[in-house]
Structure 1
Amino acid sequence: IEGSNVGEVMSNLIARYGELKRHLYTEDGKLRNFVNVYLNDEDVRTLAQGDNTPVGEQAVISIVPAIAGGR
């Protein structure tokens, strides 16, 4: 998926695969708390520019849902 920054890539992903939107975003358009997005192994939420962080051609964006379990 192409885009100049993380937010644009995510928007283009949702445009292509619309059914993902309800799993990734709340009704008000915010990323769900249990969904983690990483840019080259760095949590996007901790990056200074957040969703506006630029991505290069070789960037890897990973979407990882939080998993809980135990006894």
Structure 2
Amino acid sequence: MAIEVRIPTILRTYTGGEKAVQADGATVAELFADLETRHTGIEARLVDKENGDQLRRFVNVYLNDEDVRFIDGIATKVSDGDSVTILPAVAGGMR
């Protein structure tokens, strides 16, 4: 079961510049682990393994446009045909 994972510009160095890649798994965590097998280093940018396998604080992940933090976090189940979007949180602006 392949799921499309949309990659933000800042993480495309891990995917060879690809805007979207395919990954397999039954949960978001499994998708990230599968991505790691082909795009070494990307999982560490997304998941904080030292704090119980949680999404990193400034990383937002959407399953079909719904924030996974409000579902089951990285334990959120995915299905064939779903789309996962990774978006880094952005801060800044003028004073």
Report the TM-score when normalising by structure 2: 0.63
Residue of structure 1 in register with 2:11 after alignment: none
| Distance across 2 between alignment mates of 1:26 and 1:69 | 23
Residue of structure 1 in register with 2:30 after alignment: 8
Q: Where does structure 1 differ by over 3 angstroms across 4 or more consecutive aligned residues? A: none
1:70 aligned counterpart, secondary structure: coil
2:69 aligned counterpart, secondary structure: helix
Equivalent position to 1:40, from 64, 67, 77: 64
Distance 1:40 1:13, change over 3 A: same
CA RMSD of aligned residues (A): 1.7
| Distance across 2 between alignment mates of 1:54 and 1:27 | 19
Distance 1:7 1:22, change over 3 A: closer
> 2:30 is aligned with what amino acid?
E
Residue of structure 2 in register with 1:26 after alignment: 48
Residue of structure 2 in register with 1:64 after alignment: 87
> 1:46 is aligned with what amino acid?
F
Report the TM-score when normalising by structure 1: 0.81
Q: How many residues align?
A: 70
Give structure 1 stretches of 5+ with no counterpart: none
Distance 1:55 1:68, change over 3 A: same
